[in-house]
Structure 1
């Protein structure tokens, strides 16, 4: 099947665009910026202290109740 003049022009334009793209390097992948935690370290440690401290205090109370 023979190309029509309109198809030939479209194919030539497409080939030119592809030729321009061949010489360009692929885009560089940007490094991700580390995401900031929504809770500060102080409050995180305070929460851990309260929870773990409460558990340890309960264990000591239970153990001391046996003696």
Structure 2
């Protein structure tokens, strides 16, 4: 079976990462792998969720205040 384009890209990236590790100690590799964890939800969805929650709260307060 032939590899798909996505498989080729990932294999090339993996090979490049493995070559970068060659000849380095474990301490050097540990320093390299410490990265800031990426949020599992994007900023767009956080803003949308905040808009829905706080926007609904604002509209509810306005309706109770003005009696609409």
Task: Report the TM-score when normalising by structure 1.
Answer: 0.52
Instruction: Find 2:53's aligned residue among 51, 54, 57.
Output: 51
Give the 4+ runs in structure 1 shifted more than 3 A: none
Q: Which has the higher contact order (CA 8 A, sep 6+)?
A: 2
Instruction: Find 2:43's aligned residue among 41, 44, 67.
Output: 41
Partners of 1:65 and 1:42 lie apart in 2 by: 33
Q: How many residues align?
A: 40
Q: Unmatched 5+ residue regions in structure 1?
A: 1-26
Which structure has more helix as a fraction of its residues? 2
Q: Please state how far the C-alpha of 1:30 moved relative to its aligned partner.
A: 1.6
Rg larger in 1 or in 2? 1
